[in-house]
Structures are given as C-alpha cells and as structure tokens.
Structure 1
C-alpha cells in the first residue's frame, strides 16, 4: 500500500469569485477593451484575490479552512469602475476607485486568522483588482464605461493547477459572509 507523501503541496489563494453572469460580462468587455494589447485571462479564471498563500503543504489546509470558518463580515457591494495596468508585471486589470469598508475588514480579518496557521501577512495596502489580460505590450488608454456592480456574499479557497492548456483555478470550498 502506498501512502501520500506529507511534503506534497497545493498552490492556494483566497478570493472573491464572480457569479457566471458577471464573469461573462467582464470577459466580453475585457476582450473588447484589450484584444489588441495582450493575452486575455480565461473567463473561468476571473477573480479578485483576497490573500495569496502560495504552495501550501497538504497537512496545513485544514488549519486554513478552520481559520476561514471564523471569518465573519457583512456582505457588500463592489463597484468595478476603473481599468488600470501594472506596467512592470504587464497586466491589465479592472478594479475599484473606492474599496468598500467591509472588503477591507474581510481581508484584514482573514489575514489575521490565517496568521495562526503560519501564513505571512502582506504588509502592503490592499487594492482589489481583477486581472483581465497579461503580457500587455503597450500602455492602455483611459477607458470610459458604466461600472460593474457586484453583490459580494461569499469568498472562496482556490487551488491553482498548471497543465498543458495553461492555468486552471478550482474552487475547493466557499464561505458565506
């Protein structure tokens, strides 16, 4: 009988995961805005990262889930109202001009809970954004559009899996707000 090695890992992060209708709208709009600029992120991978964990030993996943079980914050409205670019990373994104206070509370509460599992807290200020395209070749001109409104009532734990077709994000578990 073979046993699973205890040093195996999964690449994980906590995120906000859009409903299929919003995901389809964002993907369609991203293709319209950025089709000539770079490689569009697949629709099924669109998300907003709350806390990136990296390669996590399988033995630590229960601790992370238990930590997330204790996170209680109110649901909130997210307004995706601006498109931007990270020049060095060559990434185009959609994000918020104003971060809702409940989202800031969610990130802070989640990170404090995850610290009990040995996760390091990112000291940088949190700026929610959803990557729409990678490998951006040229600067993106300002884009005028009607904001996308998202009623956020849950967060998820995602596993990032790399295979021959690229990266696939798989929801491992979700938590209601």
Structure 2
C-alpha cells in the first residue's frame, strides 16, 4: 500500500503567461462580479492534465519540459467562454494556432507520458480560467495578444494557498 508521500499532487503541463499578459487577463476578470477569481500568478493554458501520479515518475515528467520541442507560440485570446455546469468562465480564442495543437500532440507523444496513466481528452479547448462560481459576462472581450514563451509542469498546492499552483519545472524560449 502506498502512502501520500509516494504520490505527487495533481500535475499538469501548461503554458504560463508573462506578467504583462497576466495583468491583462486580470483586467478581463473585472466584469466577473461575485466570482472566485483566479490569482494572477495562477493563469495558465493547460496542455495536459495528469492528475495524481507516483513520485517515481516525477523526475521523468520534469525532464519533459526540457526535452520537448517548443518555440514561442503567438495567439490571440479574444472571447469569454464557459464550462456552464462547473460555473467556470475562461478566456479563449476563436482561432487556435496550429502550432498550439502540434505542441499538445508532441507533448502527449513524449515517452515519459506513455509511462503514466491519465485521461487523454479527445477534445482540446485551449483556455485560461478567469474565475469559478461565475456567470458568462455579457461584456465584449478586448483581445489579448499573447506570445507564449514558457512551458511548465505544475502542481496544485494545499487548499487555501495563494497562488494555488507551484511550478515544478519550467522553460522559457
């Protein structure tokens, strides 16, 4: 039987925005009244959610950040979206760059990921969560041009901790 120390927290690979982009995302939260806003240092675009994994896999997963072929990806966040059932409002894009889709395909094909069990969702809805317990705003979304230069492996921290996520490995290009 394994103990909690034999397991990681909830892991995920993501693109992390620079401070300027995070600041613009925080501005787009202003219309989301009464919601649980995402901390500005927690904004990210998830590429793959791995969930809890054995600690024995952590080093290999951290190495993926250095090993994966990755170059800056230009994208435009230009719309609010929602996961209505979960009451999550996010910033998304109407035109997903092919380079973003290709990065995700390369990531899922990395040998270290074939060694772990996780749900490989069929649909990929690239987004940055802005708030929980929120309703989709009627306001328009002023576009944010983001050149994603940081890829990371992150984990959830203890409930109530701010920021909520901690980077375990990251690389800027």
Q: Which interval holds the TM-score relative to the shorter structure? A: 0.7 to 0.9
How many aligned positions are there?
A: 170
Bigger relative contact order, structure 1 or 2 (CA pairs below 8 A, ≥6 apart): 2
Say if 2:147 is the partner of 1:147. no
1:111 CA displacement = 1.0
> CA 1:24 to 1:5, structure 2 compared with 1: closer, same or farther past 3 Å?
closer
**Unaligned runs of at least 5 residues, structure 1:** none
1:8 CA displacement = 3.2
Q: Distance in 2 between matches of 1:43 and 1:71?
A: 26
Match of 2:91 in 1: 94
Matching residue within 161, 170, 175 for 2:171: 175
- Per-residue CA distance 1:16-64 (angstroms, 9 max, x = gap): 111112112211221x21124x221111211111111111222111121
Aligned Cα RMSD in Å?
A: 2.2
Match of 1:28 in 2: 27
> CA 1:130 to 1:5, structure 2 compared with 1: closer, same or farther past 3 Å?
closer
Q: Distance in 1 between matches of 2:67 and 2:125?
A: 23
The answer on whether the counterparts of 1:90 and 1:135 sit within 8 Å (CA) in structure 2 is yes
- Per-residue CA distance 1:38-91 (angstroms, 9 max, x = gap): 221111211111111111222111121233433113322010000011110110
Match of 1:125 in 2: 123
Name segments (4+ residues, structure 1) moved above 6 Å: none
For residues 28-177 of structure 1, the aligned pairs below 5 Å read 28-30=27-29, 32-36=30-34, 38-113=35-110, 114-120=112-118, 122-136=120-134, 138=135, 140-165=136-161, 168-177=164-173
Computing the radius of gyration from Cα coordinates, the structure with the larger value is: 1
Q: TM-score, length-normalised on structure 2?
A: 0.87
The answer on whether the counterparts of 2:73 and 2:99 sit within 8 Å (CA) in structure 1 is yes
Q: TM-score, length-normalised on structure 1?
A: 0.85
- Per-residue CA distance 1:103-126 (angstroms, 9 max, x = gap): 001111101114322243513221
